[in-house]
Structures are given as structure tokens and as C-alpha cells.
């Protein structure tokens, strides 16, 4: 019973990472240009329609799910599961829980708690990597489940978010020893949007659990797209 409860909490916590996004703020003093450009960008979430594929694994149990997802300020987040397979437990307790949890977080207006802004994080420039991205160290100002201790990669020219990776600032429970995430972004039709999320958690007595979610967009801000990748 305890393990099932904490697995559900883990899946619900993972979805909150969906909302790590740009935010309005200013960097004090002479911070590096990519950080200033990143924080100066509009943080309004675009409306969209996208097909998501979710896959999860724990031990010998695996499951997958595909869903049409939509978001607008008027209707909030909606999803329709179109295909699924594998373990029924993984599908219902992890994959569907991620989608349902995202719906609830948006409906309750709690997405700002995980935003990449100066209210939630301290930023420290850490040079340019081999791909030409500006690396920025992230130090959470609070130990919360939805904040990440790690780094983000920015486009060195315009400050657009490219990747977020690290470890959750706080473990969800005694049963979960650590949760690592990697989240990737792309500029599609002028908007920076998430295109993939990967998580890896170490669960006491149950070993490693993984989740991967990918997005294929068909519409952003009312404009239909031919393809997003």
C-alpha cells in the first residue's frame, strides 16, 4: 500500500516539471547576456495541440500511451487517450496519472511554482559548451518537489531555452531516493516549447524507474503546423 501510494506521488510530481518555462524578470548587475535575454522573454504559455507518447518502466513492468493533448487559457489542459499498451498498472498509476495531474495543476493555477525565474532560482553563468550553448547553473531557493538543482542550456544568441537537466531539489518521500530529469525544448513556429522529458528515479526496494514523454505539435497559437520534427 505504501509503495503504491508513493509511486502515485512520484508520477504526479514528475508532471509538475512540465511547467518549467521562461519567465519575466531582470538580472541584477552585469549578468551574462544569454541569461538576461532568457529572463526577459514573454513567459505566456502558447495555446497548442500535440500528440504525446509516454513510456514508463519499472523492473519487468513496462507500459506506453499516446494521447492528443490541448491547452488554451479558456479551456485549460485537456487530453484524449488514443492508444495504449503494456502493463495496466503502469498505464493507470503512472502514465495516466501524469496527464491527469498536469490537468489539475493547470486548473489550480499552480504552474508558477516551478517557473525558471528569480523567485524560484539563483542563476550562475557557467561558460559555453561544445554545442555553442550557454550553460547556466541552477540553485533552487527552496527545497520543493517541483524545483531542480542542476543546469539549463540556452541559445547563446537569443537566450532561448534548449535543455533543462538535474535532480529534484527534494525527494518525494522516503521510498524515492533520487529523481533525475532531462527536458528538451525547441523553437517551433516562433515559440519555444518542450519536445521531450526523460526522468530516472531510484526507488527503495524496487530499483530504477524511468519515464519518457515526447511531443509532436500540430497547432501552436491557432496556427496549424505541417510537422514539428
47-61, 136-150, 159-173: range with highest mean pLDDT: 47-61
pLDDT of residue 3: 45
pLDDT of residue 174: 63
Q: pLDDT by residue (tens digit) across 216-229?
A: 999 999 999 975 44
What is the Cα–Cα distance from 137 to 143, expressed in whole angstroms? 16
Cα-to-chain-centroid distance, residue 99: 12
pLDDT of residue 82: 98
Among 113, 44, 47, CA closest to 75 = 47
Alpha-carbon radius of gyration of the chain: 17
Among 144, 103, 139, 100, CA closest to 121 = 139
Q: pLDDT by residue (tens digit) across 15-35?
A: 545 554 444 444 443 347 899
pLDDT of residue 42: 81
Question: Alpha helix (H) ranges present in 47-115?
Answer: 88-90, 96-107
**pTM for the structure as a whole:** 0.82
Report the alpha-carbon angle 137-108-6, nearest 5: 70
What is the Cα–Cα distance from 107 to 77, expressed in whole angstroms? 8
Residue 177, pLDDT > 90, answer no
What is the Cα–Cα distance from 34 to 185, expressed in whole angstroms? 16
Amino acid at each position: 500500500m505504501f509503495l503504491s501510494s508513493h509511486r502515485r506521488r512520484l508520477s504526479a510530481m514528475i508532471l509538475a516539471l512540465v511547467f518549467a518555462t521562461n519567465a519575466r524578470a531582470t538580472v541584477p548587475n552585469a549578468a551574462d547576456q544569454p541569461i538576461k535575454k532568457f529572463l526577459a522573454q514573454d513567459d505566456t504559455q502558447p495555446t497548442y495541440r500535440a500528440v504525446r507518447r509516454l513510456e514508463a518502466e519499472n523492473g519487468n513492468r513496462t507500459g506506453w500511451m499516446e494521447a492528443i493533448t490541448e491547452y488554451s487559457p479558456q479551456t485549460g489542459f485537456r487530453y484524449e487517450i488514443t492508444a495504449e499498451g503494456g502493463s495496466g498498472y503502469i498505464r493507470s498509476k503512472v502514465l495516466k496519472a501524469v496527464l491527469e495531474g498536469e490537468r489539475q495543476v493547470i486548473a489550480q493555477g499552480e504552474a508558477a511554482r516551478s517557473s525558471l525565474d528569480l523567485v524560484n532560482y539563483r542563476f550562475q553563468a557557467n561558460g559555453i559548451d561544445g554545442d555553442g550553448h550557454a550553460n547556466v547553473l541552477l540553485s533552487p531557493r527552496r527545497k520543493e518537489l517541483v524545483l531542480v538543482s542542476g543546469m539549463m542550456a540556452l541559445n547563446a544568441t537569443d537566450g532561448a531555452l534548449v535543455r533543462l537537466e538535474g535532480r529534484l531539489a527534494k525527494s518525494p518521500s522516503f521510498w524515492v531516493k533520487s529523481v533525475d530529469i532531462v527536458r528538451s525544448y525547441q523553437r517551433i513556429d516562433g515559440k519555444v516549447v518542450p519536445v521531450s522529458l526523460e526522468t530516472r528515479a531510484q526507488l527503495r526496494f524496487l530499483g530504477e524507474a524511468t519515464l519518457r514523454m515526447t511531443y509532436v505539435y500540430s497547432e501552436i497559437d491557432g496556427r496549424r503546423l505541417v510537422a514539428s520534427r
